[in-house]
Structure 1
Amino acid sequence: MKIRHSNPHCPTIMSFQHFHPAFEQITGPTPEIKCDLENNVYPFAHEAGVYIASKDQLFITSNRIFSEDGSQRVQISIIQLNDSTACVQEEIHPDIPMANGGVNYENGVLFCSQGTLDRPSSLIHMETEAPYKCTTILDSFYGRQFNSINDVVIHSDGSIWFTDPIYGFKQGYRQTPDLPVQVYRYDPMTKSVRMVADGFGRPNGISFSPDEKIVYVTDTDAVQGDGSVDWSRPATIYAFDIVYQHGQPFLTNRRVFAMSDNGIPDGIKCDLEGNVYSGCGDGIHVWSPGGVLLGKMLIPGGVANFCFEKPGKILALNENRLWRISFAPSCRGALLRL
């Protein structure tokens, strides 16, 4: 189903909060935040945010949608982007139960399937052309089911790194956890899967620094997932150094990188200068590589996830709205290096 949303009241805002002079190098002289798409029927713009440059398309996942019988589902959509006219949302229906985070992978999209009560949580590759063929890449830790895989990123060596909190159990669509909440690395070449970090409340977003010497993991434990919020719990970004022993990567020097002062730091990305961006309760926060809060790209209602598009462009997911942020063209995302 294709849905064209053109809302004359969908706003343009210029709300950038500066905390450090270096933020001006990121925003440039004429930054702008513009609503590109609005759908008030359901929260269509929640997670993933996978940009396909060759087609100028964005793949996204919705927040949970509840049916009258109490069942839950997530809707995957393709957004056909357009700089001059209304964007178009197309709903698609691949076999990816409770899809959440995603990343560009093997000429397609690698989605985190959180699973259901009778389907395991897994990593699923989806082709970007109809009929959107799906292939399961990984669905267990040597026979033990993952909890509800949340977010994923690809290393240049081809390995897949992902987080596994227990949101699915807390929200009633996954079984009792069979594993601790952890971060994993999967090597598709050898089929080896390793736990590489633990000690989190709710490991969520994950991203590499541009040189891949550091991995950042957000802990969103302040939001429990069952509707309760406890601001005495972590809303924190942790950083780890990646070192190699016997040809394998290990995470060392765990440290607090930053804490969100508003909401939880959910999705996380880096630019090519090493600055760290995360979707928080009042928009996208930007920190220097040293953990100094440089500024905020303010969006009412906050941002769960986002992605870099073209140079100086970010697409921000705001539940019922998709925003396009324009800032300094010199800023480019480290993930796609566009």
Structure 2
Amino acid sequence: MELPPNCKRISREERTIASSSTRSNAFQPHFAVYDDEFLDIIGPEPQIVLAIEKDFPFSHEAGVFDPTQNAVYMTSSQLGSKESPNIKITKAVKQEHDGLWRSEEIATDVVMGNGGINYRSGILFCSQGTMTEPGGLVYMESKPPYATKTLIDSYYGRLFNSLNDVVLHTDGSIWFTDPIYGHMQGFRGKPQLPCQVYRFDAETGDIRVVADGFGRPNGLCFSPDETTMYVTDTHMVRGDGTCDEMNPATIYAFDVTERHGTQFLANRRVFAMADNGIPDGIKVDLQGNVYSGCGDGVHVWSPAGKLLGKIMVPGGVANFCFTTKGAMVLLNETKFWEVKIGGEREGALLANMGIKI
């Protein structure tokens, strides 16, 4: 099958024989095709376009698309000094008249923000907290003055470590991860809880641990039919940026089951392992394919866990999001990339939440 421009087919030898590997940080953005199924995903004319570039790592986490404003909200990497760390929130808006993205920093009370999700008419952020301020789930209105409200900051009084990522179920429950990166990076105190995944009912205040046994639980998402939850474990990379390759860089899958009128996670299993870096942010499309930001870009697996291809960008991707049909944006620290793939390809997240794009 003929490849579209900007694509490279990865041979059997490159995948399986170390001496044939082309692993390198020196490459131009492109699409790496491991299986021809990936061609159905990216379409006949895929593109990777640098939309915004700045001189600091503004484009790191969250990646929340608000279709009412044609805007993406994102959080920066840790900035400031060890004594006074901060994280900035940026709002990037795609202009109707010229199709270009323009960005602005938002002044808000979200403390050390990280992951985020569409919630009600605004954005729900994971606040990691500081030495003096607890972290938790913080709702931010999506219009100035970007007022905030904390929904939860503890597990029955025991402070969370540093919330990382969050997702919603269609029943309204909020699911999130809580690793100890804040402590490891020096802006949170001694952890009071294990590294776990939680389910929170904002209406009743019910908060439950639904999965444990992780090194560093990070990204999470549901399959399109919400029968499976995917959770990434990024334990391979320590908080100071050093690596231990004996630790997980792994995506785990769980069955979402119902017992006694509520949901549980069961039947934990390995779904996939990243071959480059760690699988950080994670999303699915409506066909059930799984996408995750890794050390050399966004990796894409079939629902069966087969690596189909990669959207390759130098420096890798921490997080990303689907925007309009056939489009994604990738958060690449100092760079914000727009990706065009198959015209009808759509993320399951907004569709399941009933948000029209």
- TM bin (shorter chain): over 0.9
**Partner residue in 1 for 2:54:** 39
Q: CA deviation at 1:14?
A: 5.8
Which residues of 2 match residues 240-255 of structure 1 at below 5 A?
Answer: 240-255=254-269
Q: Is the 8 A contact 1:307 1:316 kept in 2?
A: yes
Which residues of 2 match residues 84-233 of structure 1 at below 5 A?
Answer: 84-233=98-247
Is structure 2 residue 350 aligned with structure 1 residue 336?
yes
Q: CA deviation at 1:307?
A: 0.3
Which residues of 2 match residues 271-310 of structure 1 at below 5 A?
Answer: 271-310=285-324
Q: TM-score, normalised by structure 1?
A: 0.94
**Partner residue in 2 for 1:316:** 330
Runs of 4+ in 1 over 4 A off after TM superposition: none
Letter matched to residue 17 of structure 1: A
Q: Is the 8 A contact 1:161 1:186 kept in 2?
A: yes
Q: Partners in 2 of 1:15 and 1:90 — Cα distance?
A: 28
**Partner residue in 2 for 1:3:** none
Aligned residues: 325
Q: CA deviation at 1:88?
A: 1.6
Q: Partners in 1 of 2:344 and 2:102 — Cα distance?
A: 28
Spell out, residue by residue over 1:63-115, the C-alpha distance to the aligned partner (whole angstroms, 9 max, x if none).
Answer: 01123x74210001111113735422111121111000000001100000000
**Partner residue in 2 for 1:76:** 89
Q: Partners in 1 of 2:99 and 2:150 — Cα distance?
A: 36
Which residues of 2 match residues 5-20 of structure 1 at below 5 A?
Answer: 15-20=30-35
**Partner residue in 1 for 2:70:** 56
- CA 1:14–1:225 in 2, change beyond 3 Å: closer, same or farther? closer
The runs of 5 or more residues in structure 1 that have no matched partner are 1-12
Q: Is the 8 A contact 2:29 2:313 kept in 1?
A: no
Letter matched to residue 119 of structure 1: E
CA RMSD of aligned residues (A): 1.3
**Identity across the alignment (%):** 54
Q: Partners in 2 of 1:175 and 1:106 — Cα distance?
A: 32
Letter matched to residue 148 of structure 1: S
Spell out, residue by residue over 1:116-168, the C-alpha distance to the aligned partner (whole angstroms, 9 max, x if none).
Answer: 00111110000011111101011100000000000000000000000000000
Q: Partners in 2 of 1:115 and 1:232 — Cα distance?
A: 29
Q: CA deviation at 1:224?
A: 1.0
Letter matched to residue 27 of structure 1: I
Q: CA deviation at 1:231?
A: 1.2
SS of residue paired to 2:267: strand
Letter matched to residue 217 of structure 2: P
